[in-house]
Structures are given as C-alpha cells and as structure tokens.
Amino acid sequence: MKKVKWNFKLYQSNITQVMEKGGFDLMKEIENFSSESFLEMFGELNCKKVLDWLHEEIKKPRFRSSSIGLLMTNPRGKKERENGELAKTVQTMVEDLWLYKTYGVEKIMDVNQTRKGKLCEEDAIGLVQLVCGGDEFRIKNKRRMFGKYSSGESDMVLKNSIEDTKVAYDVNSFFRKGKDEFYTKKDGSKVWGFNKLQYGQAQDYMRLWGKDKFVLRWCAIDTPEEIIRDEEKRVFYKYGNDEEHEEYVKQSQQIRRNHDFSVIPIEERVKSFETEIDWEYLKELDERAEKAMEYYQKIVL
C-alpha cells in the first residue's frame, strides 16, 4: 500500500474544529491509527504522533453529558449573580471533576434506583422496541462521543434522532413522569417530561451526534428480586429481624405491590417525551462551561 502524504497540524486542527461544533469518536480514531492498514498507509512515526495526541485529548477534563445541565444553575445571591460567579452546585461539580482527573477520586452512587437502571437497561430497550416499534431496530449504543467541553454515550442513536431509555423505580414514580417535571426555557415555555439535568443531557447528546430530535422514554419494568429483597431487608431489621412480625409482613407485601408493573397493560408501559435541538441553550451552555473550566484551572488541594 502506498503511503499517504499528510499534514499532522491540519489533521489536528480539523478534529479540534469538529469537537468545537459537535462530537467526535476519539476511541474509534485510536483504534484506526493502531491498525495495520493505517500503520502501512501513514507510517509508524506519524501514527505514533497521532496516537499520542489522541490519548492526551481523551485525558482532558470534560463534563459528562448526564450532568452538564447543572452548569445552568444560577447562584442564589443577587450579588453573586451580578458578579457572574459560579453557583456553589457548579463549583462542587467542577471540583469533583478535578479530583477525579487529578487523583482518581470519585463518589460512589450505588443506590437502588441506579442499580435497577443498569440491571434493566436491555429489558427497557426491548420494551421500547415492542411498544413503540418503528422501521429501525434499536440496539444499545457503545460509542462515546467527545466534544470541546463534554463527552457522552447515548442509549440509542437512530437515523434522525437520539433515544434515551430510563427505568422507573416503582409504579408511583412511573405515574409521576410527565405530570410534575418540566424544564423552563428562557422564553418561559415549558418542556414537559424533562428536568434540568435531562434537558441538558438531551441537548448535549443531539449536538455530539448531529441530530435535531431527542426522545426520552420512561419504561415500566418489574424490579429485580435482589433489589426488592434489599428493601425488605431494611424493614426486616426495623422490626427486630422477625419475619413474622405483623408490620414486617404488611410492609413487605406493600413493597412488592409497589414494584409490580404487571398490573399495567403492556402498551402503557412506556412514556415518551420529545424535544428538539436548542442552539440558544447550547451557546449559553458553552459560555458557562468555559467559565467553569477557568475555575477548574485555579483549583488546588
């Protein structure tokens, strides 16, 4: 194979521009430049130069798409808002990112709601395919896209949209979805079914993958037995480890009813909420991300 003449600086500039406007699959690019065909095409020294740069690029601090919406939090005090200071919530998020990048320290969030989401992810995608149908077969996305300030791995990337599946913890929480949660845009309009974090995640995903539409789907999936038993165990300890205690029996039965979605018809077990790309929001998000990164650079132990 004939070697290709190319300009590393131009390549670097092009990838940087792509990440400033949207998203780029850095991991796939590393895989490409590690392959025999690329080594033969570009030469070992050129490939090494690119790989070194790509690895450094991946190491850069970036916000997760799932949490980047927190950047839109404003300080509580009028003086802090007028001075353009970061909200305490945002400062904490940036400090957590710094601790992870500097020392590998990360908070462990192992709550039952999160556990259920992970355990039931594949079931949720299957349920969406069954209930919502369409001419595309849904599979779990495995690619992570990188932008200037963020990186994310969406659930499903379809031809014209991004879909994200979330699993309701119990029947009560599924009932509440879409009834009391909304994101208020600057013009005062409400985007129902999304909170601040979910709206930010939706907007970031759309930009990273170059899509104009995002669909959030809440799924009613029966809770795994191990999680139900964990809830029952707490009640068991509360009543002196007595499984025949009247209140334990009563509450244990109620726990199981709370997590039994089989009472809901299959066609009603998915709630869907849509939104479109909001470039005005993304422009402000970038401005806040830049200010947050300035704060990042000033952090000391």
pLDDT tens per residue, range 142-165: 999 999 999 999 999 999 999 999
> Can you tell me the distance from the alpha carbon of 8 to that of 40, in angstroms, rounded to the nearest whole number?
16
Give the domain CATH number at 195: 3.90.320.10
The pTM of the full predicted model, rounded to 2 decimals, is 0.93
Note whether 116 and 183 are same-domain residues.
yes
Mean pLDDT in the chain?
Answer: 94
Q: How many domains does the chain have?
A: 4
Does residue 260 carry a pLDDT above 90? yes
Looking at the domain assignment, is residue 231 inside a domain?
Answer: yes
One domain, residues 247 and 120:
no
Q: Is residue 161 in some structural domain?
A: yes
* 2 within a domain of the structure (yes/no): no
**Segment of 37-46, 144-153, 176-185 carrying the highest mean pLDDT:** 144-153
Whether residues 15 and 117 share a domain: the answer is: no
∠ CA 29-30-33, nearest 5°, is 85
- Residue 182 domain boundaries: 112-224+257-278
**CB distance 271 to 177 below 8 Å:** yes
Looking at the structure, tell me whether residues 122 and 182 fall in a common domain.
Answer: yes
pLDDT digits (tens, 9 = 90+) for 98-130: 999 999 999 887 799 999 999 999 999 999 999
Residue 162 belongs to a domain? yes
pLDDT range class, residue 2, cuts 50, 70, 90? low
Q: Are residues 126 and 92 in the same domain?
A: no
Residues 263, 136 share a domain: yes
Q: What DSSP character marks residue 275?
A: E
Same structural domain, 261 and 234: no
Residue pLDDT, tens place only, 51-70: 999 999 999 999 999 999 99
Tell me whether residue 29 is in a domain. Answer: yes
Question: What pLDDT sits at residue 4?
Answer: 65
Which residues pair with residue 213 across a beta bridge?
276
Residue range 202-257, pLDDT digits in tens: 999 999 999 999 999 999 999 999 999 999 998 988 888 888 898 989 999 999 99
Q: Is residue 1 part of a domain?
A: no
Examine the pLDDT at 5 and tell me if it is beyond 90: no
Q: What is the pLDDT of residue 1?
A: 55
Tell me, yes or no, whether 152 and 86 share the same domain. Answer: no
Same domain, residue pair 145 and 269: yes
For residues 230 and 294, membership in a common domain is answered with no
Neighbours of 271 (CB within 10 A): 18
Q: Which two tokens stand for residue 147?
A: 């932008």
CA 272/CA 83 separation, integer angstroms: 40
Kindly state whether residues 265 and 182 are assigned to the same domain: yes
Residue 283 counted as domain residue: no
| Domain co-membership, 46 together with 127 | no
- Tell me, yes or no, whether 207 lies in a domain: yes
